[in-house]
Amino acid sequence: MEHELLWIYEEEKKMKAKLREAKDRRDREAVEFAQKALITLYVRFGEHFKMNAEPDPIVAERYLKAAVILQKDHPVANYRLAHLLYRKKMYTDALFHFERALAGSDSEGLNESQEMIANMFMANCGIFIARQALTELEASNENPYIDFDEKLVGRYRGEMLEAIGEMFDNRFYRKIADEKEEFISDEKVQLILENNWDAKQVVLCSMDDGVHLYFGKHQPISLEPTAFRILYFTLKAGGRPLTGEDIEDRFFEGLGQEIDPDLLRQTINRMQRRIPFWDKIIETVHVRNPDTNRDRRARKLAEGIGFCMICRAGDILPEEG
């Protein structure tokens, strides 16, 4: 970590020096180019410290804030920063940066998945802000020194409670299946899990107590984070076989982190031993490597089996980062 921080500091130092040189020359085009490069560097470092195997949210926040100072409307910098503020329960600030992220800039914007997630987190921010307001209202009721219109405040209090109830009932979970996504209630989640007896659909369900794998009449299997991500990438690919290298690429593209090939193999071997229905849901095939002309082992969702992902509305799935 110390060596990594030193390298990052040196890279930042070089970029800042280039920016100063361009400003000294009063070269507007060079200044713009150097500033964009520095912003890109800050965002990359922020993403790295936010999503790597050993995240450091304090350092990540520092770099993302530096990027936003240089470019207030940078969509990805605002998006990543908003997530960090949300985790710190700074919901008003998080809401502000999610709005900025969605607005984007003249030349940049979020992708479709990020837009959907930003909107969902904004809804969650609204819920928590409303809860905080209600808590403060209850405290005010007990304070004899605060004078307010009880009838007026009471009416809006009822509207807030109703809105919160509707949001929790209708948008608490996401269900993703067959490339389609919908918001479902907690009751609908339970119905799906209780009626998944035909052994034709694999369900990954992320709840408060972790991620669980459901299939047919088998008991649900709990999954640790690395196992979940490997299985998620494999199942989501459907009938397209994934080699170990393919999964490594998905870890890097979606999570901004690398997975050691040995850890990948060990995790897959553990899942094969722990999951009694592994061979029913995962098919092992061999694909030809065009570079070496050799066969490689790959895995895919078994023929005739469907896949469904259920997660809380505010959850970030591996490829959504």
Mean pLDDT calculated for residue range 189-197: 84
Listed in sequence order, the residues at least 6 apart from 90 whose beta carbon sits closer than 8 Å to its beta carbon are none
Confidence bin at 170 (pLDDT 50/70/90): very low
Residues 120, 34: Cα–Cα separation, whole Å: 35
CATH of region 174-312, choose from 3.30.2130.10, 1.10.10.10, 3.30.70.3460, 3.40.50.2300: 1.10.10.10
DSSP state letter for 77: H
Domain boundary assignment for the chain:
174-312
DSSP letter for 109, please: -
Q: Whole-prediction pTM value?
A: 0.54
Using one digit for the tens of pLDDT, what is the confidence trace for 226-236?
899 999 999 99
Q: Which helix (H) or strand (E) holds 177?
A: strand 173-177
Residue 260, pLDDT > 80, answer yes
Q: Is the pLDDT of residue 118 over 90?
A: no
Q: What is the pLDDT of residues 134-146, one digit of tens each?
A: 666 656 555 555 5
The b/e string for 253-265 (b: 16+ C-beta within 10 A; e otherwise) is ebbbbebeeeebe
Residue 259 DSSP class: -
Cα–Cα distance measured from residue 275 to residue 281, given in angstroms and rounded to the nearest whole number: 10
- Tens digit of each residue's pLDDT (9 = 90 or more) over 31-61: 889 888 899 888 888 877 776 656 788 988 9
pLDDT digits (tens, 9 = 90+) for 209-254: 789 999 998 999 999 888 999 999 999 988 889 988 888 888 766 6
Task: Write the CB contacts of 273 (distance below 8 Å, at least 6 apart in sequence).
Answer: none
Give the DSSP letter of residue 175: E
Distances (CA, A) of 63 to 10, 121, 320: 14, 22, 20
**Nearest by Cα to 196 from 221, 219, 217:** 217
